[in-house]
Amino acid sequence: MAASLMFWGPESRARAGGVGGLRGPAPVTMDSFLFGCELSGHTRSFTFKVEEEDDAEHVLALTMLCLTEGAKDECNVVEVVARNHDHQEIAVPVANLRLSCQPMLSLDDFQLQPPVTFRLKSGSGPVQITGRHQIVTVSSVSEEEDSEEEESEEDEEDELYPILPAKKQRGRPKPPLVS
């Protein structure tokens, strides 16, 4: 089996923007991709990182860590190496898995900002780490597109006809119908 695996497939895509013709915040696009890697005695660490010149916001939401086929009944400690709010690198153990008592741990979308390194601190694994890579992009609307959009809104307004008052009927009023 490969030392580390990463699966990328679109899970969801959502768009949001202005409401009812009012100018709101810039349109936001959110993409979500499946993430997975495996730590073992052969591959003791895996680093998840993104391109630095990318303007999008990236979040790695971990869902589960579990021992897979071939794991021994030993303590498998997985630690995460990331940066804290002061941008200092810190290492924190997030799981202690053992085949006989806790072969799996649910992390309920534990969110991390890349770059993130996963290490198998002790044990021989294999430990599978799964989650979602979420990418949030704020689109900037250019002035040219903005003016085109305003012109199309004005054209739509010109096509609407005003509501006219009802005409009064002349002559005798019709008697009411009696059943």
CATH number, domain 28-138? 2.60.120.340
Domain segments of the chain as ranges: 28-138
Q: Which residue has the tokens 């008592």?
A: 101
pLDDT (tens digit, 9 = 90+) per residue, 118-163? 999 999 989 999 999 999 887 765 544 555 565 555 555 556 666 6
What pLDDT is attached to residue 147? Answer: 53
CA distance 68 to 97: 11
Q: Which residues, at least 6 apart from 77, have a Cβ–Cβ distance to it below 8 Å?
A: 93, 95, 96, 120, 121, 122, 123
What pLDDT is attached to residue 85? Answer: 85
Task: Read off the amino acid at residue 57.
Answer: E
pLDDT (tens digit, 9 = 90+) per residue, 42-89? 999 999 988 877 778 899 999 999 999 999 999 999 999 998 888 899
Would you put residue 62 in left (φ > 0), alpha (ψ -120 to 50) or beta?
beta
Closest alpha carbon to 136 in 49, 32, 62:
32
